[in-house]
Amino acid sequence: MKPFLLLLCCILLAGSAQTTLFIEIRHAITKETFTIQQLSEDDELKLSWIHSVEKTPWEEYFTINKRGKLTLNKTQFQSFGAGVSPYGRGTTSIEDGYIVLSELNESFDSYRWFHSHDATFTWYVNENLWIHTQQLPHHESIELLVHHRL
C-alpha cells in the first residue's frame, strides 16, 4: 500500500507542476538582453507600430501556446498594402476603421524585427505598456524569445 501511495503522490505532484513562462527581448546578433518578463499562459502580448510607408497604425496580438511557442492570433491595420501577409488567412473583418485578420494561429520560435524609433515599435502585456520604443536601440535587429522552466 505504501508504494502505491508514494507513486500516487509523485503523479499528483508532477501533474500540478506548472511551467513558468518568460519572454525576453534581446539584440538578435549580439544576444544582449534588454528585458525579461514573466508571463502566465493566458497573458496577451501586443506589438504596435506605425507603418513606414502607409503611416498608419498596425497592431499584432500574440499568446504563448501549450508548446511554449509565440502564437500570432490577430493583426489589425488601417490600410491594406506593403507588408500585409497574403489575403485569405484566418477570418477577415472590419472593426472601428481597422482591417482585422483574426484566428491566424501562426506559431514562431522567435519574433524578429528591425527596430526603429520612427516607427514607434511598442510592446504591451495585457494592454499594459511593457517596452516603449525608446527603450530599445534605434536601427538594430531585435528579437523576442519565449523561455519556459518548471
| DSSP bridge partners of 22 | 38, 147
Distance in angstroms (rounded) separating the CA atoms of residues 45 and 125: 5
- What pTM did the predictor assign? 0.80
11-48, pLDDT tens digit by residue? Answer: 444 444 566 889 999 999 999 999 999 988 889 999 99
pLDDT the model gives residue 89: 76
53-95, pLDDT tens digit by residue? Answer: 888 899 999 998 888 889 999 999 988 766 666 666 789 899 9
Number of domain units in the chain: 1
Closest to 28 measured CA to CA, from 107, 106, 109, 114: 114
pLDDT the model gives residue 87: 60
Nearby residues of 137 by Cβ (< 8 Å), 6 or more positions away: 27, 115
pLDDT the model gives residue 63: 93
- Domain carrying residue 83: 2-149
